[in-house]
Amino acid sequence: MKGIEFPIYKTKVKDDRKFDLSDPEERKKYFEFKSGKDIEDIREFLKNNTFVVYLLGKKSAGKGTYSKMVADAIGKDKVEHFSVGDMIREVDEELKDEEKREKLIDFLEENYRGWIEIDEIVARLEGRSTESLLPTPLILTLIKREIAKRGRKVLFIDGFPRNMDQISYSLFFRDLIGYRDDVDIFALIDVPETIIDERIKYRRICPECNTSRNLKLLPTSKVEYDKENDEFHLICDNPDCKEVRMVRKEGDEKGIKPLRERLDLDEKLIKQAFQLHGIPKVLVRNAIPVDKAENYVSDYELTPEYVHSWNAKKEKVETEEIPWTIEDDEGVKSYSLLAPPAVVSFIGQLADILRKS
């Protein structure tokens, strides 16, 4: 990301061994091998403490994936991840149910403090578009309610702060939610926009079961070739779908273009948070320059690209796996990293912060 130097975290070790990072059990062994001491120290910290992490990254940066993997590594029973966007969608559903609606309004009347009356708040919730931002005091009130449901655990909060105004609120959020003794941390995630763009453009969805895969980055076990249109198609390998051809969602061919305004705001938020003093930060990068990769990461930690070709002689699709090479936001030729090595970096920095707290 232009303007911020995200450090390159070394995950390669002298006696390295290969792990299948797509397999949950193998990932568990990988994290213990690469981050065993850090995981042990975090677990020790959690015997008497908790902490709060604000996840900041551009849309489709992998915030949910990273926090889930951190939770898997240190203990799912100790960690709660929640998305503010999902929380608002759940509120939308509550408003459609008379009993839940009454409970929500009772909660707001008891806990909400702001410049807008409750009736207008409810009207805004019911009439809002998916693009409109709700008042920050309302978001804070709803987050308090969400936290109360989860008990005293480690919190990974995705989607707050969401605008420049909320950055200042987040400085005092620890006190607002009653976690007075908790360490609070910004986790800033850098993903080159070329990665986000291709994740969207090559995404394919099963029209039957809604499974999402990627023609270039995460294909199914069967790929079909359309000779007439010279196109490759993924065939859903969910047994219940009876080999349905997966399709592109409307608009995905445009990639990040429709997200331009959102991505620019996300970048401003990350840069603003980076400049704050007094709050520790975890800096996670999703890509590594090609000329540095050999010294810092192992080959199996790189995101593979799947290149499909049609073998006319054998009448079959052949797929070659190669490291996915992209240009980062500064035009540097780079490899994309799989999520686990990025999470090793996340865990290492998190452990360092907690040791000093």
3-state SS assignment for residue 56: strand
Within-domain flag for 63: yes
Mean pLDDT of 172-183: 65
pLDDT at 348: 97
DSSP, collapsed to helix, strand or coil, labels residue 339 as: helix
Q: Which of 60, 296, 9, 299 is nearest to 191 (CA)?
A: 60
Residue 316 has a pLDDT of 94
Q: Would you say residue 99 lies in a domain? A: yes
Give me the percent of the chain exceeding a pLDDT of 70: 93
The answer to whether residue 170 scores a pLDDT higher than 70 is no
Residue 120 domain flag = yes
CATH number (domain holding residue 115): 3.40.50.300
| pLDDT tens profile 290-330 | 999 999 999 999 999 999 999 999 999 999 999 999 999 99
Distance of CA 137 to the CA centre of its chain: 25
Q: How far is 223 from 273, CA to CA, in rounded Å?
A: 43
| Tens-digit pLDDT profile for residues 58-110 | 988 888 889 999 999 999 898 988 888 889 889 989 999 999 999 999 999 98
pLDDT of residue 232: 97
> Is position 2 within any domain?
no
Q: What is the pLDDT of residues 223-256, one digit of tens each?
A: 999 999 999 999 998 888 888 999 999 999 999 9
Measure the CA–CA gap between 215 and 236, rounded to whole angstroms.
Answer: 11
Question: From CA 95, how far away is CA 249, in angstroms rounded?
Answer: 29
Q: Where are the beta strands (DSSP E) in the chain?
A: 51-57, 79-83, 154-158, 183-190, 203-205, 212-214, 222-226, 231-235, 281-285, 287-289, 304-311, 316-323, 325-327, 333-336
Would you say residue 149 lies in a domain? yes
Number of domains comprising the chain: 1
DSSP 246-295: PBPPTTGGGTTGGGHHHHHHHHHHHHHHHH-SSS-EEEEESEEEHHHHHH
Work out the number of other CB atoms within 10 angstroms of the CB of residue 140.
21
- pLDDT, mean over the chain: 89
In a domain, 135, yes or no: yes
Is-contact 155 52, C-beta < 8 A?
A: yes
Distance CA 24, CA 282 (A): 24
CA distance 152 to 50: 7
User: What pLDDT, in 10s, does the model give residues 27-70?
Assistant: 999 999 999 999 999 999 999 999 989 899 998 888 888 999 99
Tell me, yes or no, whether 350 lies in a domain: yes
What integer pLDDT is reported at residue 180 of this predicted model? 54
Helical H segments across 151-275, by residue range:
164-171, 173-176, 193-201, 260-275
Boundaries of domain holding 262: 24-356
Query: One-letter amino acid identity for 146?
Result: E
Q: For the residues 276-283, what does the mean pLDDT come to? A: 90
Q: Is residue 3 part of a domain?
A: no
pLDDT computed for residue 175 by the predictor: 63
pLDDT of residue 100: 92
